[in-house]
Amino acid sequence: PGVKQTGEGSAGFNVRGGKEDQNLILLDNALIYNPSHFFGFFSAVNPFTTKKAAIYKGSIPPEFGGRLSSVFEITTKNGHPTKFSGEGGIGPVTSNLALSTPIIKDKSSLLVGARGTYSGWILRSLKEESLKNSQASFYDATVKYNHKINEKNNFEATAYYSHDIFSISSDSLYKYSNRLVSLKWEHTYNEKNKGALLFTNSEYKFNIDYNGAPLKAFDFGYKVAESQAIFKMNY
C-alpha cells in the first residue's frame, strides 16, 4: 500500500505521492543514484545476486539519514561456503550469470554476478532506417567477498558497477554509470552487545556526446560521488 509505479515500462516507483528521486536506494549500505537500465525497463540490481530487500515507507530509522519518501534497502547474497555453484538465464534482450565458490571452506566465499544485453544487435537488424544507426546497451557486475574471521568477527566486501549507453534516432550519445564499494566488519562483544563498522563509496557519472555537426559538437557530463563511515552498536 502506498507504492506505485512511475509509469508503464518503468523501473521507478513513487511512495505515498513522493517523487521518484525522493527514494533512497541502498545496496549493501551503499547508495545507488540511478537504479534502472534501458530507459527504466530493467532494474540496475542483478536479481541473481540479491538476498533480500526491505522498504521503509514511513517512520524511517534514523540510521539511514532520512529521505522524503522512502528507503529501499537491498542486501546481496553471500557465496556458498562449501561448494561451487551457479545459475544463469538467457532471454530475448538480456543474459544473466551468477557464480559462487568457497575460498577457504566454511570460512570465506566469493560471489560474482554479471548481466548484459544484446539489444544493439536487435536495433541494427530492424528494417527502419532511422533505427539502424541506433544503439542501446547496458551491463552490470557484482562481486561480494565474505570472510568469517572467528566466532566473534566477520568481514564483508561488495563491489558493484553498471554502465548504460544509448542513442536512438539521433546524433547524441547518452552514457551513464553507477559504481560503489561497501566494506563491513561485524564484531560480537558478548551475548548482549554487537557492533559493526562500515565504509562505503558511491559514484554516478552522466555524459552526452554530440558529433553530428563539427561547429555544434559538444561533450557535456557531470559526476556526483560520496563516501561515508558508519559505526553501529546493537544492544
Grid coordinates of 111 = 560471489
How many other CB atoms are found less than 10 A from the CB of residue 83? 10
Cα–Cα dist 33/161, whole Å: 12
DSSP state of 64: G
pLDDT at 174 over 70: yes
How many other CB atoms are found less than 10 A from the CB of residue 151? 7
Measured in degrees and rounded to the nearest 5, phi and psi for residue 194 equal -135, 155
3-state DSSP assignment of residue 235: coil
Within the chain, strands assigned E span: 3-5, 13-15, 23-27, 30-31, 36-37, 42-43, 50-56, 70-76, 85-90, 94-104, 108-117, 135-148, 153-167, 172-188, 194-210, 218-234
pLDDT (average), residues 79-105: 91
Cα–Cα dist 115/139, whole Å: 5
Is residue 135 within 8 Å of residue 166, measured between CB atoms? Answer: yes
Cα–Cα dist 113/49, whole Å: 6
Q: Compute the half-sphere exposure of residue 213: CA atoms within 13 Å on the CB side of its CA.
A: 2
Say what the pLDDT of residue 199 is.
97
Check residue 171 and give left, alpha or beta (phi > 0: left; psi -120 to 50: alpha). alpha
Decide the pairing of beta strands 85-90 and 94-104: antiparallel
Please tell me which residue, 159 or 93, carries the higher pLDDT value.
159
pLDDT (average), residues 81-109: 91
Say what the pLDDT of residue 66 is.
67
Q: What is the pLDDT of residues 3-37, one digit of tens each?
A: 888 766 566 788 888 888 888 999 999 999 988 88
Q: What is the pLDDT of residues 117-148, one digit of tens each?
A: 887 777 777 777 666 667 778 899 999 999 99
Say what the pLDDT of residue 11 is.
64
CA distances from 131 to 122, 128, 136 (A): 10, 6, 11
116: which residues sit within 8 A by CB, 6+ positions away?
A: 94, 95, 137, 138, 139
pTM, 2 dp: 0.88
Grid coordinates of 182 = 561497501
